[in-house]
Structure 1
Amino acid sequence: MDTRSPFVVGVHDLVRRPGAMRVKELGIPAPADLRNEVIGVPEGAEIAVDLRLESVVEGVLATAQVTAPLVGECVRCLATIEDETDVEVTELFAYPGAIQVDPEDTEAEEIAEPHEDAVDLEQAIRDAIVLDLPFQPRCRPDCAGLCPQCGTDLNAAGPEHSHDVVDARWAALVEAFGEASAETKPTTSGEESDR
């Protein structure tokens, strides 16, 4: 544990004192990789943590309301999205040996522990934020996306935007008939009388 990390909070006044409680408000700069492929918390943006620490028989129970700004891209039209995440975090930092885990249970979650009368909230906060991020964020629920032919933003283009699209399987046939119809263009009655 890096005691200089802003995610590390001292709990020396709570250790082994069941019933003791403390509340604290933190403003933590976001690390660089708090995101998925399309949206996340900008590096250095403030993560607001409304923290409650309680001493229980098994260890120190941390509960927090975590709020952070989000910036990303709409998966349909690629417009910039600015939003906010608001998640709850609950983590028990158990004293060594306070919780028995079956050593043969390979899927058991690792139990967080206080270290030198401090707890590190980073993993719990990181997990809560990243798991709450949308995998396909949209700028609005009815986003029309981009035109597959020309890339125009269909939200701004309006319903009159369209293209004549020919199925690739018929393109050669359409091209041949297009040339034939140009060659056999009907003449006007005036042209016939001149002949």
Structure 2
Amino acid sequence: MTTHRTPTHRPEAASPWVFSTRELGRRPGAMRTVSRSIAAPDAPKAIGLEGVIVVPAGSPVLLELRLEAVTEGVYVSGTASAELAGECSRCLEPLTDTIEVDVAELYAYPDSATDETTDSDEVPRLVDERVDLEQVVRDAIILELPLAPLCEPDCLGLCSECGGRRADLGPDHGHERLDPRWAALREHLPSE
């Protein structure tokens, strides 16, 4: 017995993340390319790891995509790129960077074999001849973000004694460590 899976998410036509596939029809091999700049969303849908590194809200996420009709649905492939802002995990200085990720996702046609044999959380579905790329792009970017972003690959971090940024302190920076067993003798040494 075949059961039709009802989509759990109906894409809003006005959303900049939603693309129409109407002109592709269900003709395998039909293809179109699209370019779009979309303002990054704010919390709670921010793209990234809040407090670590994110695509700043309102900054452009640039999409260069190819939508191609295949037997089971529409295959979306291309790239998404954006600016990043965060904090260095070693020295806590603000940092900026750019990211470009590959996007590749099959959106299943309603009543296709893929639709009938997979759950909606496994393969997204076309709904009303539209695809919603927001979650796909968010996931692709988040998976490529560094868990511990650095301002420089060889960032020295902070001094564990004084908390100063080691890159600013210089090579001669150090802290005198006196063995506590000799501390009493320090009183008897002449001061410099």
TM-score interval, normalised by the smaller of the two chains: 0.7 to 0.9
TM-score (norm 2): 0.83
SS of alignment partner, residue 137 of structure 2: helix
Looking at structure 1, the residues matched to 25 and 177 of structure 2 have their Cα atoms a distance apart, in angstroms, of 71
Are 1:46 and 2:60 counterparts?
yes
SS of alignment partner, residue 40 of structure 1: strand
Name the structure 1 match of 2:37. Answer: 27
SS of alignment partner, residue 127 of structure 1: helix
- Structure 2 residue runs of 5 or longer lacking an equivalent are 1-10
Looking at structure 1, the residues matched to 74 and 106 of structure 2 have their Cα atoms a distance apart, in angstroms, of 6
Letter in 1 for 2:25: V
- Residue correspondence of structure 1 range 134-145 to structure 2 within 5 A: 134-145=146-157
Which of 118, 132, 156 is equivalent to 2:130? Answer: 118
* 8 Å CA contact 1:15, 1:59 repeated in 2: no
Structure 1 position 17, deviation (Å): 1.9
Pair 164,12 (structure 1): closer, same or farther in 2 beyond 3 Å: same
Structure 1 position 178, deviation (Å): 3.3
Length, aligned pairs only = 174
- Residue correspondence of structure 1 range 1-195 to structure 2 within 5 A: 1-32=11-42, 33-36=46-49, 37-98=51-112, 99=114, 100-101=116-117, 109-166=121-178, 171=180, 173-179=181-187, 181=188
* 8 Å CA contact 1:15, 1:60 repeated in 2: no
Structure 1 position 109, deviation (Å): 4.8
- Structure 1 residue runs of 5 or longer lacking an equivalent are 186-195
Structure 1 position 80, deviation (Å): 1.7
Looking at structure 1, the residues matched to 13 and 118 of structure 2 have their Cα atoms a distance apart, in angstroms, of 30
SS of alignment partner, residue 48 of structure 2: coil
In the TM superposition, what whole-angstrom CA distance separates every residue of 1:9-47 from its partner, at most 9, and x where no partner exists?
111111312221111100011112111141110011000
Pair 153,129 (structure 1): closer, same or farther in 2 beyond 3 Å: same
TM-score (norm 1): 0.82
Looking at structure 1, the residues matched to 111 and 102 of structure 2 have their Cα atoms a distance apart, in angstroms, of 27
Letter in 1 for 2:12: D
Cα RMSD (Å): 2.0
Looking at structure 2, the residues matched to 109 and 164 of structure 1 have their Cα atoms a distance apart, in angstroms, of 59
Identity of aligned residues (%): 41
Letter in 2 for 1:84: T
* 8 Å CA contact 1:149, 1:163 repeated in 2: yes
Looking at structure 2, the residues matched to 3 and 175 of structure 1 have their Cα atoms a distance apart, in angstroms, of 74
Looking at structure 1, the residues matched to 184 and 158 of structure 2 have their Cα atoms a distance apart, in angstroms, of 31
